[in-house]
């Protein structure tokens, strides 16, 4: 598992705060640096005294493998920004069930921080009256499915969510980086489609018919890969019990990263899916299709029914 690595200055600052069909066969087998954050915004004794109190949030500039410099809370949980919020003037729009999946970073008083410029940090009043921390005007959130320090499963769960950098920008994953969490293949039953493959965040996986099964290559790069992010992996992939491990492999992409294959097909997520249980990419361009657990594409004539609750058998 990748781990967040707070800078020495950040650690010191926080410490000082008193704290199987033919298409379902695999045609080939598989073998089985920290970013400098620059000058730190130091927390003086007067700042600590003025801001100390219960329910006070803390921001720490850290690094996460594959993302570089990001903001975390005091426990190392990655913080995110939401594209549907407004930065100028600040406005939080993630409420209700959205806020259950993406808990806002709440603070009873101005947040303590390290590795962030003071003028970037502020608070905004949410619709329920609570105060939410902002950086660069963007309200900050955690992701409920992140399992601990250094995990960033929320990165690009949909096109609207991204980890936030110490300057308030969206964190960008390196195409050749390792995944932010161990790669997992699971399945989910999506209404209208039936069982499909999912990744470790529960996102539907797709194949691209312009790729060639078993060729060992992906043809989706550049702008294509930004809309259809490849499922990347280290040498080991965790596979749910209802998936034949013999179908699972890896290929090396043009940028040197390793992409997961199932039944010989490179698999991808879709940036416009809003989260687990969605399959808006099925049938796009008559070339993109959700993948069945046996490595085959889901019938092109089928259409997802988003009103039907999905059931997961792994990968969430």
Query: For 42-61, what is each residue's pLDDT tens digit?
Result: 333 233 333 333 388 999 88
Q: What is the pLDDT of residue 234?
A: 65
Final residue before a domain boundary, out of 163, 191, 212 = 163
pTM for the full predicted model: 0.47
Domain that residue 272 falls in: 182-316
Residue 175 lies in a domain: no
Final residue before a domain boundary, out of 163, 198, 229 = 163
Residue 227 lies in a domain: yes
Non-local CB neighbours of 39 within 8 Å, separated by 6+ positions:
none
Final residue before a domain boundary, out of 163, 192, 211 = 163
Residue 249 lies in a domain: yes
86 and 218 in a single domain? The answer is: no
Residue 26 lies in a domain: no
300 and 231 in a single domain? The answer is: yes
User: Can you tell me the distance from the alpha carbon of 316 to that of 304, in angstroms, rounded to the nearest whole number?
Assistant: 19
Tokens of residue 69, six digits: 């410099």
13 and 152 in a single domain? The answer is: yes
User: Can you tell me the distance from the alpha carbon of 197 to that of 295, in angstroms, rounded to the nearest whole number?
Assistant: 8
For the chain, the helix, strand and coil percentages under 3-state DSSP, each to the nearest 5: 10, 25, 60
CB atoms within 10 A of CB 68: 20
Find out whether 107 and 56 touch, Cβ atoms under 8 Å: yes
State the DSSP string of 104-160. B-B-SSSPEEESS-GGGEEEEE-TTS-EEEEETTEE-B--TT--STT--TTTTSSTT
Say whether 196 sits in a helix, a strand or coil.
strand
141 and 50 in a single domain? The answer is: yes
Residue 169 lies in a domain: no
pLDDT tens-digit series, residues 76-114 = 999 999 999 999 999 999 999 999 999 999 999 888 888
149 and 186 in a single domain? The answer is: no
187 and 310 in a single domain? The answer is: yes
Q: What is the pLDDT of residue 133?
A: 97
Partnered with residue 197 across adjacent β-strands are 187
Q: What is the pairing mode between strands 184-190 and 238-239?
A: parallel
Q: Is the dihedral of CA 68, 144, 11, 87 positive or negative?
A: positive
Residue 168 lies in a domain: no
Low-confidence residues in the chain, pLDDT < 50 = 1-21, 28-54, 175-179, 308-311, 313-316
89 and 205 in a single domain? The answer is: no
206 and 90 in a single domain? The answer is: no
77 and 149 in a single domain? The answer is: yes
213 and 144 in a single domain? The answer is: no
The pair phi, psi for residue 90, each rounded to 5°, is: -60, 135
Residue 172 lies in a domain: no
106 and 205 in a single domain? The answer is: no
Q: What is the pLDDT of residue 46?
A: 30
Q: What is the pLDDT of residue 66?
A: 75
Q: Is 18 exposed, middle or buried (0-12, 13-18, 19+ CB in 10 A)?
A: exposed
Partnered with residue 162 across adjacent β-strands are 81
Q: Is 301 exposed, middle or buried (0-12, 13-18, 19+ CB in 10 A)?
A: exposed
C-alpha distances in Å from residue 144, one per residue of 56, 59, 66, 90, 290: 20, 18, 20, 23, 25
Provide the domain count of the chain. 2
148 and 215 in a single domain? The answer is: no
Residue 148: which of 78, 79, 68, 100 has the closest Cα? 78
Residue 174 lies in a domain: no
Segment holding 58, helix H or strand E: strand 58-64
Q: What is the pLDDT of residue 45?
A: 29
């Amino acid at each position: 598992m990748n781990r967040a690595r707070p800078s020495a200055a950040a650690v010191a600052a926080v410490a000082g705060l008193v704290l199987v069909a033919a298409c379902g066969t695999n045609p080939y087998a598989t073998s089985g640096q920290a970013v400098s954050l620059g000058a730190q915004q130091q927390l003086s004794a007067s700042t600590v005294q003025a801001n100390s109190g219960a329910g006070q949030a803390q921001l720490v500039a850290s690094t996460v493998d594959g993302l570089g410099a990001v903001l975390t809370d005091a426990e190392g949980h990655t913080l995110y920004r939401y594209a549907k919020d407004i930065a100028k003037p600040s406005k939080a729009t993630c409420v209700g069930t959205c806020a259950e999946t993406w808990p806002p970073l709440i603070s009873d008083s101005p947040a303590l921080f390290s590795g962030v410029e003071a003028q970037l940090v502020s608070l905004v009043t949410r619709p329920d009256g609570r105060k939410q921390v902002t950086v660069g005007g963007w309200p900050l959130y955690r992701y409920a499915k992140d399992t601990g320090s250094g995990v960033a499963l929320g990165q690009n769960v949909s096109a609207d969510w991204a980890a936030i950098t110490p300057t308030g920008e969206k964190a960008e994953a390196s195409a050749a980086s390792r995944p932010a969490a161990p790669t997992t293949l699971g399945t989910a039953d999506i209404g209208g489609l039936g069982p499909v493959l999912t990744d470790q965040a529960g996102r539907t996986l797709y194949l691209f018919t312009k790729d060639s099964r078993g060729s060992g290559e992906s043809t989706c790069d550049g702008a294509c890969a930004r809309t259809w992010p490849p499922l990347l992996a280290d040498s080991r992939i965790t596979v749910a019990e209802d998936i034949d491990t013999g179908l699972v492999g890896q290929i090396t992409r043009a940028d040197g990263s390793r992409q997961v294959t199932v039944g010989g097909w490179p698999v991808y997520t879709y940036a416009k899916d809003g989260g687990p249980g969605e399959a808006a990419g099925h049938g796009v361009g008559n070339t993109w299709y959700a993948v069945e657990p046996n490595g085959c594409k889901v019938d092109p004539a089928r259409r997802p029914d988003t009103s039907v609750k999905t059931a997961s058998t792994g990968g969430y």
